[in-house]
Structure 1
Amino acid sequence: MKRIEEIDALRGFALFGIIMTHMSAGFVASLTPPQYAGFNFKLPIDSVSLQIIENLFLGKFYAIFSMLFGLSFYLILDSKKESSPWRFAWRLVLLFLIGYLHHIHYRGDFLTVYAVFGMILIPMRKLPNRLILVIGIFLALNGPTNLMKTISLFQPPAEVSQATASGPNPVELAMSYYQLILDGEYQKLLVSNSTIGFINKYDYLKFSGRLWIIPGLFLLGLWIGRKKWHENIDKIPLRKLTLVTAIIGIPLVLLNYYFSTPAHSEPVRLLASIAKDASNIFIPLLYIALVIQLYQSKRTHRFVRSLIPVGKMGLSTYVIQSAFGIFIFYGYGLGLLLKLPCTAALGLGLLFFLVQILFSNWWFSKYKYGPLEWLWRSGTNGKWQPFKKNKEA
C-alpha cells in the first residue's frame, strides 16, 4: 500500500504539538498540588507561552493524531474486504504492550488508551457512514459529558456521603507522585504508574471527557477514510475549509478563554466548556487545511516534507519524546521540573523536535521502518521483517 505523504506530514505536525504541550506541563501528566501551582511560571513571558499552549495547542494536536488513527484503521482494515479483524485486534494488543512499557515510565501515555479504544472500531465498522458520522460528532464534541452537566444544572446538589469523603485525597496522591518525580525514585515510580497510575489515567479520561472524545475522533477519521478524502486531497476546497474553520473555531477559543473563569456562573462556564470542546474539532481542521496548503505550495513544500519522516515513524518519535522529557524534568535525569520556566521548556521542546526531524531523515536513508514500527510490524506478521534498505535500490 502506497503511503500518502500528506498523512505522514500531518502526523509529524501533530507530534510537534504534542511534545510542546507535554513540555509546557513538565511531562508530569497529573493534577498539580496547590503548593506547586504555577511551577513553570517564572518569567513574565511565561504567561503568554502558557496561554498559547492552553488555547492553541492543548487538545488540538492530539485530535489530529486521533483522527489519523481512525483513518489508519480504515486503510488497514475497513477498506479491504479480505483483511482479518483478528489480525488488527492482535495489532492493538501489541500496541497496548508497547504502550504499557511506555506508561510505567510516563503516566501521560496514550498508546494504551488508543489500543483499548481501537478495539471499539472493529464492531463499529459495520455501521453505515451516516451513523458513524453522527456518533463520531456527538462523541468528539464530548456530548455525553456536556449532556450530563446540563442536566445537573437543573438538579439539586447531591450530598457528599461519608464514604466518598473518606476516599483517597486527589491532592495527596498528586503530592506523593510529584515527590517521587522530584526525588527520582525510579523503581517507586514504576510501581506507582503501573498501579494507581492507571486509575489516575481513567479518572483523567473521564474528567476531561476524552473517554468519549477519543472514540469520536477515531470514528471521524474512519468516516473521512470512507469518503476517500485522503485519495482526493486535490479536490478538497482547502481555502474554503480554512475560512470556515477559522470563522467558527477562533470565536470558540475566545469564548472559552473569556468565560471559563470561576468569576462566571456555572451555566456560563458550561457554555465555555462546550465551546472549548467544539474548538478542539474546528481548530484541528483549520490546522490540517493550513498544513496541506503549505505542502502544496512551491515555497513551503520542502519545509512541510521534512515532517514526513517524523510522522512515518510516529510511534518511535512519540516514545523518544517521552524519554527526552523524562530526562529533562525527572529527578533521575536533570531534575528541572521546578526550575525550568515554561518558555525555556518550550524552546527545548522545539529544539529537540528539530533534532528528531534530522534524525528521522537520516534514519530512513538506511532503514525501511522506524525501530518501534519495525518491531510492531514484525510482531503483527509473526516474523521478522526486512529492516535495512536494499543498497542496490
Structure 2
Amino acid sequence: MNAPSSRLDLLDALRGFAIVSIMLLHNIEHFDLYFTPQGAPAWLAAVDKVVWDSMFFLFGGKSYAIFALLFGVTFYIQFQHRAQRGEDFRPRYAWRMVLLLGFGLFNSMVYHGDILSLYAVLGLALIPVARLRSALVLVIAVILLLQPYAWLEWYMALSAPNEKLADPASWAYFGRANDYMKHGSIADVWIGNLTNGKTGVILWSWENGRLFQIPALFMLGMLAGRAGWFALSEENKRRWWRVLFLAVVAFIPLYLIKSSSGNWNVGPALERPLLIIITSWSNLAFMAILVACFSLVFYARPALAFFSPLGRMSLTSYVVQSVVGTALYYGYGLGLYQHTGATLALAVGIVLALAQRQFSVWWLRSHAQGPLEALWHRATWAGQTRRKLA
C-alpha cells in the first residue's frame, strides 16, 4: 500500500459507487416510507416491479457491505500511517468513532435507516484486532460471518421445527414509523426517528445478522489493506479475477437455495434462521462480485473515476442525501411518496446522484475534503501540533 495515488483512486471510485447505489435504493424505498401509489397504468406497475426487483438484486444488502469493507481499508491506512511515525492510532480512532456517532445520531434523526451510528459503535471492534496476526483476524471474521447466533436459533428450534413464530420485533417499530413519516411534522419525524425508528433499525440489524456481518467486513477490509489489494498492479488484477471466479461459484448455489426457501419444508422455526444465514452469505458473495467487477473494469476503463468525487466526500454525500431525500418524500416535505413508484423514484435518485456528484466536483476544486470530512478530520486531530499533522 505504498502507492497512495493509485490506491486511493480505486478506493475513492468504489466508495463513490457504493454511495450512488445506496442513494438509488433509498429513493425507491422512499427512505423507508414504503408506499405503492394507486392508479398507475398496468405497464408502469410492471416496470416498477422489474425496477424494484432488479435494484434489490443488484444492491440490496450489498452496497452497505461494500461501504463496510472500505471502512476497514481506511482504518488500516490510517493505522499504518501513524505506526510508521511510531504512534498508536487506536486511542485517536476511538475518539474518531465517538465523533462519527455524533454524525450518525444527527443523520438518524433525519433518516432512521442511518448506518453511520452502527458503524461508529461496531467499528470499535477493530481496536482489539488491529495488531493481531492476519490469520487470527481472518478466523475471527469468518466466525462472525458464519452467523453464530442464527445457528444457535436453528439448534434451539430443532425440538419444535413447526412452531409458529411471532413476527420479528422490529416490524412493530417500523409500522409506527410509517404513520409519523406520512402525517407528522418535522419535529414528529425527528423525535420518532431517534426513539422508535432507531430502536427498530437496531432490532432489524440484530434479527438479520448485520451486527455480526458488519464488524467481520471491517476486519476483512483491514486485511485487504494489509495485503495491498486496492493498489493498481498486475498481481492485484489477477487476484480480482480469482475473487470473481470464486464469488460466482459461491453465489449461484446460495442464491438458488435462498430463492427456493418456500420449498425447504423444514418448518418455520428452522426456516427463519437458515434464511438469515443463506441470505447473508449470498449477499456477501454478490458483494465480492461487484467489488471484483468494479476493480477489473477500473483497470481497463479509468472512466469509472467518475464516481471518485462522491467517494472523496462520502460522509457529506451520505448525510446530504438523507436530508434532501426525506424532505422530498416524507409528509412534512413534498410528500412524493404518494406519487412515485419505483421507476419514477429511481429517476429522482439518478438526478440527485448526478447533482450531488457535480456539487462534489465543484467543492473539491477549492477544498481538499468535503465539509463534513474536514470537520471530522479537524475534530479527530484536535490537540495535535501542526508539526505532527504535517
Q: TM-score range by the shorter chain?
A: 0.7 to 0.9
Q: Which residue pairs with 1:391 in the alignment?
A: none
Alignment of 1:44-55 (within 5 A): 44-55=46-57
Alignment of 1:1-393 (within 5 A): 2-3=4-5, 4-28=8-32, 43-78=45-80, 80-81=82-83, 82-141=87-146, 143-156=147-160, 173-231=173-231, 233-236=233-236, 237=238, 238-256=240-258, 258-261=259-262, 264-266=265-267, 271-297=274-300, 300-302=301-303, 304-382=304-382
Partners of 1:79 and 1:248 in 2: how far apart?
35
Bigger share in helix = 2
Amino acid at match of 1:60: K
TM-align CA RMSD: 3.0
Secondary structure of 1:229's aligned partner: coil
Q: 1:97 to 1:269 in 2, by over 3 A?
A: closer
Partners of 1:197 and 1:384 in 2: how far apart?
38
Secondary structure of 2:230's aligned partner: helix
Amino acid at match of 1:379: A
Secondary structure of 1:293's aligned partner: helix
| TM-score, normalised via structure 2 length | 0.86
Gaps of 5+ in 1: 387-393
Conserved 8 A contact 1:41-1:342: no
Q: Residue deviations 1:71-115, cap 9 Å, x none?
A: 111111256432332111111111111111111111011111111
Partners of 2:214 and 2:328 in 1: how far apart?
29
Conserved 8 A contact 2:174-2:200: no
Deviation at 1:147, TM superposition (A): 1.0
Conserved 8 A contact 1:259-1:269: no
Q: 1:260 to 1:351 in 2, by over 3 A?
A: farther
Amino acid at match of 1:354: L
Gaps of 5+ in 2: none
Partners of 1:335 and 1:384 in 2: how far apart?
46
Secondary structure of 1:156's aligned partner: coil
Conserved 8 A contact 2:112-2:193: yes
Q: Residue deviations 1:277-306, cap 9 Å, x none?
A: 112222111111111122111xx322x011
Q: 1:75 to 1:41 in 2, by over 3 A?
A: farther
Partners of 2:153 and 2:38 in 1: how far apart?
31
Q: Residue deviations 1:314-336, cap 9 Å, x none?
A: 10111111122102211121112
- Relative to structure 2, which stretch is displaced further, 363-372 or 270-279? 270-279
Partners of 1:360 and 1:222 in 2: how far apart?
27
Secondary structure of 2:95's aligned partner: helix
Q: Percent identity?
A: 32
Q: 1:152 to 1:169 in 2, by over 3 A?
A: closer
How many pairs does the alignment contain? Answer: 371
Partners of 2:12 and 2:285 in 1: how far apart?
21
The higher-RCO structure (CA 8 Å, 6+ apart) is 2
Amino acid at match of 2:13: A
Deviation at 1:117, TM superposition (A): 0.8
Amino acid at match of 1:290: C
Q: 1:171 to 1:197 in 2, by over 3 A?
A: closer
Q: Residue deviations 1:366-391, cap 9 Å, x none?
A: 211101001101111227999xxxxx
Conserved 8 A contact 1:75-1:225: yes
